[in-house]
Amino acid sequence: MNSPSEITVEVAYALPHEQLIVPVKVEAGTTAENAIHASGIIRKFPEIDLATNKIGIFGKATRLDTVLRHLDRVEIYRPLIADPKEVRKQRAADGKIMRKGGGDLPEE
């Protein structure tokens, strides 16, 4: 059981074929940046640069100085490989039908 001054959060980072979610106990009042460092995730993925990588909590963009709450999940985002708008334009130009969620529908 956590003491009142200790909370548990998760720090998450994902690559196309690998995902890591690290649970970490931190002091109440800890910022997202402190939790990321405490998780050790940057040692495993040295390409993470907190000056350029965006972060969020449960999919909602946030800042490094955001104070975390018990059971928050801090997510570190990678830069997009392709612009989603351009991908949609290209699919439309190719005549592909998309289903909700971004996948292609199977051809009949």
Q: What is the mean pLDDT of each run of 10 residues along the chain (108 residues)?
A: 82 92 97 97 94 95 97 91 72 69 56
What's the whole-model pTM score?
0.72
For the chain, the domains span 6-76
pLDDT at residue 56 in the model:
97
Tell me the HSE value of 53 on the side-chain side, using a 13 A CA sphere.
Answer: 21
pLDDT at residue 68 in the model:
97
- Per DSSP, which regions of the chain are E strands? 6-15, 18-27, 55-57, 60-62, 73-76
Q: Are 54 and 61 in contact (CB under 8 A)?
A: yes
CA 81 – CA 96 distance, rounded (Å):
20
- Per DSSP, which regions of 33-94 are E strands? 55-57, 60-62, 73-76
Q: What is the CATH number of domain 6-76?
A: 3.10.20.280
Q: Which amino acid is at 37?
A: H
